[in-house]
Chain A
Amino acid sequence: AQSVTQLDSQVPVFEEAPVELRCNYSSSVSVYLFWYVQYPNQGLQLLLKYLSGSTLVKGINGFEAEFNKSQTSFHLRKPSVHISDTAEYFCAVSGTGGFKTIFGAGTRLFVKA
């Protein structure tokens, strides 16, 4: 079974500042890792995914994440945030042999002017 822990429930940050949203996972098998974003009253949108290969993955809207197997982490970063990045961000994991994806509790990113 897999589990995901998002270490921060809320992250306030000023516009144009860098941000890191932290995610740790646990699994007894190999995993795929994902970050999704949810804007108010909308569904979840895939930001990026790690399946294999390079541990640094780049996604949409200037976000990137780094897979660290030894620390079982998959932190999301953006060097300079915009007001429009204000949303809820979900880290998620699935076993490579399974069908379901397990989501973390979410981190609310609030970008201030």
Chain B
Amino acid sequence: EPEVTQTPSHQVTQMGQEVILRCVPISNHLYFYWYRQILGQKVEFLVSFYNNEISEKSEIFDDQFSVERPDGSNFTLKIRSTKLEDSAMYFCASSTLVGSGYTFGSGTRLTVV
């Protein structure tokens, strides 16, 4: 069964450093997403991406965040200057259509120290 692949599974970074989280969505999916889950809290929407541009973003997704699809397979989330409160599990997801339901990756646990 096709799956969404995320790397790394765990990343530790110092406050103020830049991090890039990587995702390989399912190849025939058209819509891509990043969500995060702070420990013990809800799964929160960050951003959706379609047709090589951001289609929707949340208030969490400020200027410190950016997404890119640099080639036909990768989808990345960059955090420019990490803060302690960015520590969370970050999930990438993809879907064929809006409303079709997501396929999630296993997540990257980001720890900012």
Contact = CB atoms under 8 A, between A and B. Distances in A.
Do they bind each other? yes
Interface of A: 32, 34, 36, 41-46, 49, 51, 90, 94, 96, 98-106
18 contacts: A32-B99, A42-B106, A42-B107, A43-B104, A43-B106, A44-B91, A44-B104, A45-B104, A49-B100, A49-B101, A94-B99, A96-B99, A99-B31, A99-B33, A99-B55, A102-B45, A103-B35, A105-B42
A101 B98 CA distance: 10
Contacts of A41: 106
Interface of B: 4, 31, 33, 35, 41-45, 48, 50, 55-56, 58, 91, 93, 98-107
A51 B97 CA distance: 12
Contact of B102 (A46, A51, A105): A46
